Amino acid sequence: MIWFLFTAFRQKTKEMSTYASTKMSIKHWAEEDRPREKLLHQGKKQLSDAELLAILLGSGSREASALMLAKKLLAAYDHDLHLLAKANISDLCRFKGIGPAKAVGICAALELSARRNLLDIKLRPTITSSRDAYQMLATLLADLPHEEFWLLLLNRANRVIARERVSVGGVAGTVVDAKLVFQKAIHQLASSVILAHNHPSGNLRPSQADLDLTKKLKAAGKVLDIQVLDHLIISEAGYTSLADEQLMA
């Protein structure tokens, strides 16, 4: 009798566990509440970040649906897609329910989003302010975990000719060779350049080294008749323009 009751208890517990798991599964939700169906019927703009991420995940785990897992993932990164974009495969795989395949899918989708935000260089947009320059470079620099130094090369009408990476460094800095800076400018027949580098720390204040480099490159450009218009410091928090701050002297 005791064995019968124990067996019945185990069976009931298993049924309850299966029921709970079923209730968590997105495919058992009302159709209008499922992210995929919501996108199909209401359009992508109606979905939250968590719902879009749940579609990428495709499925959750025994303990959580894809949507619950997506919410947990976003919460871990302060609901900031810029922070999530910095996560690597190992970071994402630490979440139960996310394996290498799902992690790769998330990384690929976020990278595609970043590339989509890059302006088409063939359109040669005109730079009329530091904000214009920042928008041309932010997607390249804002989320990097290390420092990079870039150039915006402009023609006489201040239209963008090209974006060029000059150097890649570590967390605390990168070495910039003035010869390489102006080699790229001369090769593209640029009339002026805008300098830019990122601060992974998020600090937007220019260091003394930043100011010294700017002064050095501006003097070199004057000799070559290539004007150095600005130097941007970029992070996920925004940017600082040395020209706007009157620090280009």
Query: Are 32 and 41 within 8 A, CB to CB?
Result: yes
At residue 17, does pLDDT exceed 60? no
Protein fold of 121-241: Cytidine Deaminase; domain 2 (3.40.140)
Q: Which of 207, 249, 212, 209 is nearest to 230 (CA)?
A: 249
Mean pLDDT lowest among 160-174, 201-215, 228-242? 160-174
Q: What band does 76 get if pLDDT is binned at 50, 70 and 90?
A: very high
At residue 213, does pLDDT exceed 60? yes
Give the start-to-end residue ranges of the domains of the chain. Answer: 2-116, 121-241
Q: Which of 241, 245, 229, 248 is nearest to 130 (CA)?
A: 241
At residue 23, does pLDDT exceed 50? no
Between these two residues, 8 and 76, which has the higher pLDDT value?
76
Question: For the chain, what's the residue count?
Answer: 249
pTM: 0.56
Provide the token pair at 221: 């450009």
From CA 31, how far away is CA 27, in angstroms rounded?
Answer: 8
At residue 58, does pLDDT exceed 60? yes
Mean pLDDT lowest among 13-17, 73-77, 151-155? 13-17
At residue 12, does pLDDT exceed 70? no
From CA 220, how far away is CA 216, in angstroms rounded?
Answer: 6
| SS3 state at 205 | coil
At residue 6, does pLDDT exceed 90? no
Backbone φ, ψ for residue 148 (5° rounding)? -135, 150
Q: Return the residue matching tokens 């501006």.
A: 218
Query: Which contiguous run of DSSP H or E holds residue 118?
Result: none
From CA 103, how far away is CA 133, in angstroms rounded?
Answer: 32
At residue 25, does pLDDT exceed 80? no
At residue 71, does pLDDT exceed 60? yes
